[in-house]
């Protein structure tokens, strides 16, 4: 049976869509904060430093959320931890509507980040372990494509709702995924691989860390940590600042949201092409090619001076960057055995989130110091190239390889 027909089977399709919606809500929350920050910068008269901290506080929570959720998902099950992560970020998002200061909002974004950071590696591992090998990579990239849908929803909310009803309305909408968790509790099951290996996965944290850094997995761990740091550092440094960068270039807030929405739409074909190529040419091919093209797009965006150039470069940046993200999520769970799979992926994701904290803060400092936009995006170009080289040299191909127990 082909990988396409496999994904048409009701049980796999239901799992992909159910987990995909949780992924979409995660992306919606991250996307909303980038637009909300642009609105708050005007309403609260924020400095670049305050904007940087607001953009980074969620990523700081993701550092802890990804590592903790990875460990607990190996111990208590993928489904259980997935539900808890959704409830955490939904509650914190809803409470953010009540924030009256930057400090309070940063704290709530940190708590939301714990849930957001935990949900992603757990959901990708759940799908990776549940789908047959012939369709595994494609299924996880398609799961990641829901991230683009979430960003599109965030952009639509920001374009139509925020200017009319205020930034608080966006946070209230961000609390709705809590209701979805109730449905998810009944609609999905834990992965067959986890259920089979349930007792083996309940080893101590110290044992899990030793396995992740054992001779067998050390090379993959180094590669993944470098890859995740480089990709997340550049993504959050670039994309959380996009609406603000557009307003800095002289566009109105509404016009900036409109342009970012257009750029965001390009994420979907980026995912779909990556989903096609990942089972045809392999994980390493898609990651290396899409990362190199992302780096070149970043350089182009930093150089762009006209509206048409900005849009074209932004569209390419979204297309290739998010295609690479899909391949990265598909690739990561395939490099560890079941007993430490979410721990290994969670730790790599956590290291990546450190980059997600540093990226927006550095951009804030550079903007305050009046560093040229081209120079800022040149840094992102170099960083992304480092990630591509790490995969090329240290990565091993996992296309068509069964997950190990």
Residue 266 has phi, psi (to 5 degrees) of: -70, -15
Give the CA distances from residue 166 to residues 225, 258, 324, in Å, rounded to whole numbers and listed in that order: 39, 17, 34
pLDDT of residue 287: 96
Q: Domains plus CATH for the chain?
A: 3-186+204-394 (1.20.1250.20)
pLDDT of residue 7: 58
Terminal-residue alpha carbon distance, the chain: 24
Task: State the Cα–Cα distance between residues 327 and 141, nearest whole angstrom.
Answer: 6
Provide the CB-side half-sphere exposure for 40 (13 A, CA): 28
Question: Nearest Cα to 342, choosing from 26, 12, 77, 24?
Answer: 77
pLDDT of residue 29: 86
Question: What are the structure tokens assigned to 311, written together?
Answer: 């849009």
3-state secondary structure of 19: helix
Residue count of the chain, please give it: 405
Q: What region, left, alpha or beta, does residue 250 occupy, with left being phi > 0 and alpha being psi -120 to 50 degrees?
A: left
pLDDT of residue 202: 66
User: What is the chain's pLDDT, residue by residue, as a tens digit (405 residues)?
Assistant: 444 555 567 788 888 888 888 889 888 888 888 778 878 888 898 888 888 888 788 888 988 998 898 889 888 888 899 999 999 999 999 999 999 899 999 999 999 999 988 888 888 888 888 888 888 888 888 888 898 888 888 888 888 888 888 889 999 998 988 888 888 887 888 878 777 766 565 677 788 889 999 999 999 999 999 999 999 999 888 877 776 777 777 776 667 677 777 887 888 899 889 988 998 899 999 999 999 999 999 999 888 877 788 889 889 999 999 899 989 988 998 999 888 888 898 899 899 989 988 988 888 888 888 888 889 999 999 999 999 999 999 999 988 777 666
Please state at what angle helix 10-43 crosses helix 102-130, rounded to 10 degrees: 160
pTM, entire model: 0.80
């Amino acid at each position: 049976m082909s990988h396409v027909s496999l994904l048409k089977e009701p049980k796999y399709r239901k799992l992909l869509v159910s987990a995909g919606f949780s992924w979409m809500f995660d992306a919606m929350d991250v996307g909303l904060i980038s637009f909300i920050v642009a609105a708050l910068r005007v309403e609260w008269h924020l400095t670049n430093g305050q904007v940087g901290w607001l953009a980074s506080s969620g990523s700081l929570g993701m550092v802890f959320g990804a590592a903790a959720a990875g460990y607990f998902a190996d111990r208590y099950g993928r489904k259980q931890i997935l539900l808890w992560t959704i409830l955490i970020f939904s509650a914190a998002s809803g409470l953010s509507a009540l924030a009256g200061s930057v400090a309070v909002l940063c704290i709530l974004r940190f708590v939301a980040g714990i849930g957001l950071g935990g949900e992603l590696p757990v959901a990708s591992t759940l799908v990776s372990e549940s789908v047959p090998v012939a369709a595994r990579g494609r299924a996880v990239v398609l799961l990641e494509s829901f991230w683009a849908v979430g960003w599109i929803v965030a952009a639509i909310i920001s374009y139509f709702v925020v200017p009319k009803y205020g930034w608080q309305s966006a946070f209230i909408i961000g609390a709705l995924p809590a209701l979805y968790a109730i449905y998810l509790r009944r609609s999905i099951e834990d992965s067959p691989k986890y259920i089979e290996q349930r007792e083996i996965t309940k080893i101590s944290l110290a044992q899990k860390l030793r396995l992740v850094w054992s001779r067998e997995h050390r090379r993959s761990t180094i590669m993944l940590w470098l890859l995740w740091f480089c990709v997340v550092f550049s993504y959050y440094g670039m994309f959380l600042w996009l609406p603000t960068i557009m307003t800095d270039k002289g566009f109105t807030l509404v016009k900036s949201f409109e342009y970012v929405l257009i750029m965001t739409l390009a994420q979907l074909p980026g995912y779909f092409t990556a989903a096609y190529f990942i089972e045809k040419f392999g994980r390493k091919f898609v990651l290396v090619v899409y990362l190199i093209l992302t780096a070149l797009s970043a350089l182009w965006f930093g150089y762009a001076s006209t509206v048409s150039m900005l849009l074209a470069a932004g569209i390419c940046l979204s297309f290739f960057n998010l295609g690479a993200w899909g391949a990265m999520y598909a690739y990561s769970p395939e490099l560890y055995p079941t007993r430490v799979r979410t721990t290994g992926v969670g730790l790599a994701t956590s290291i990546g989130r450190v980059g997600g904290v540093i990226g927006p803060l550095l951009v804030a400092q550079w903007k305050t110091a009046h560093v040229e936009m081209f120079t800022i995006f040149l840094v992102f170009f170099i960083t992304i190239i480092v990630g591509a080289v790490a995969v090329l040299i240290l990565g091993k191909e996992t296309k068509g390889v069964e997950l190990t127990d």
